[in-house]
Structure 1
Amino acid sequence: MMVSVLEPPSPVVTVSEARAHLRIDHPDDDGLLETLIKAATGWLDGPAGWLGRCIGGQVLELRMARWPSRGSDMALPYLPVVQIVQIAHINTDGTEQVIDPALYRLTGNRLWFMPDFVAPLQSCQPLPVRIRYRAGYGAFDAQGAWVNDAPASIKAAILMLVGQWYANPEAVSTNASTDTMPFAVEALLQPYRVLS
């Protein structure tokens, strides 16, 4: 099983929110703030993130070696799962076949295959089964734009990291380990962390 990000996450914190948090009243450092926001979010978000979940709305692709059995379900990693984009597989002749959406259903972060789903023969290629899904906090608005609604404590933690890195722009060495998260940030995030 392998999960990759096909569509990068939508922003969770805006530059304006970072400016307000840092009490900055000029746009001179907006580029730096945007970079720090992306770095902080990337440290926490998605398959490579510390939280083990998706924060910003994004499209993931789960690739598997074989189909689950019909009438069964499977948990999709990196919740919250919002919608299935597409399920497909590589046929024995090397072409891709899309599975009819009537043959599966999403309930929470669980993907159910209906009793009449018959697993097609698949290629000998590695990981021929592909499940694309949207995950993250939020929903689409009437204009089709993603509106993030991440919990306030996650947004606060990202802003705290941005503030720390903005105030200390150079790498520093202290007695603390360099791979640990600041205590206040970890305390805010701990309830949302998914441990595997």
Structure 2
Amino acid sequence: MLVSVIEPPTAVVTVEEARAHLRLDHTDDDGLLETLIKAATGWIDGPAGWLGRCIGGQMLEMRLARWPSRGSDLPLPYPPVVQIEQVAHLDSDGNEQPVSNALYRLAGNRLWLMPDFVAPVGGDEPYPVRIRYRAGYGAMNAQGQWENDAPDSIKAAILMLVGQWYANPEAVATATSNDTMPFAVEALLQPYRVLS
């Protein structure tokens, strides 16, 4: 199984929220704040993140070497899963062929293949099965824009990281590892962590 990000996550915390958190009354550091927000969010969000889940709305693609059996379900990693965009496979010519959406359903964070699903015959491509889905806290609005609904404790953890890095802009070596999660941030995030 391979999972990649097709559309990057939407912002969970705004520059304005970071500025308010830091009690800044100027916009001189907005570029830096935006960078710190992206870094903090990237540390915990999505396939590469510490949480093992998606926070900002994003599209992922999971590739599989073979189809699961019909009438079975397949857990989709990095929840919460909001909707399945497409289920497809590569045919013997290497062309992507979509599967009718009548042959699968989303149930929670799982893809259910209906009993009448028959696995298409694919070619020799590695990972011919492709499942694209949207994940993250929130949903698409009527205008096709993602409306974020991340829990407040996740937002607070991101703001704490931004505040720590803003106050200490230089890399610092301590007796502990540089890649460990600060205790207060970990305490806020721990209830949402997906352990494999």
TM-score when scaled to structure 1? 0.98
Measure the CA separation in 2 of the matches of 1:30 and 1:58. Answer: 24
Partner of 1:78: 78
Partner of 1:184: 184
Partner of 2:91: 91
- 2:19 corresponds to 1:24: no
Partner of 2:54: 54
Cα drift, residue 174 of structure 1? 1.5
Measure the CA separation in 2 of the matches of 1:95 and 1:148. Answer: 34
Measure the CA separation in 1 of the matches of 2:97 and 2:144. Answer: 27
| SS, match of residue 56 in structure 1 | coil
**5+ long unaligned stretches in structure 2:** none
Measure the CA separation in 2 of the matches of 1:165 and 1:18. Answer: 12
The AA in structure 2 aligned to 1:133 is Y
| SS, match of residue 161 in structure 1 | helix
Partner of 1:11: 11
| SS, match of residue 185 in structure 2 | helix
The AA in structure 2 aligned to 1:113 is L
TM-score when scaled to structure 2? 0.98
Q: Which runs of 4+ in 1 moved over 4 A?
A: none
Cα drift, residue 93 of structure 1? 2.4
1:136-162: per-residue Cα shift (whole Å, max 9, x none)? 000122322111010000000000000
1:97-135: per-residue Cα shift (whole Å, max 9, x none)? 100000000011010001111000011111000000000
Partner of 1:149: 149
- Paired residues in the alignment total 196
Partner of 2:68: 68
Measure the CA separation in 2 of the matches of 1:91 and 1:183. Answer: 49
Measure the CA separation in 1 of the matches of 2:90 and 2:194. Answer: 31
1:9-65: per-residue Cα shift (whole Å, max 9, x none)? 000000000000000011100000000000000000000000000000000000000
1:67-104: per-residue Cα shift (whole Å, max 9, x none)? 01111111100000000010110011222110000000
Measure the CA separation in 2 of the matches of 1:114 and 1:176. Answer: 50
Partner of 2:122: 122
Partner of 1:131: 131
Q: Which moved more, 1:75-84 or 1:140-149?
A: 140-149
Measure the CA separation in 1 of the matches of 2:178 and 2:72. Answer: 43
CA RMSD of aligned residues (A): 0.7
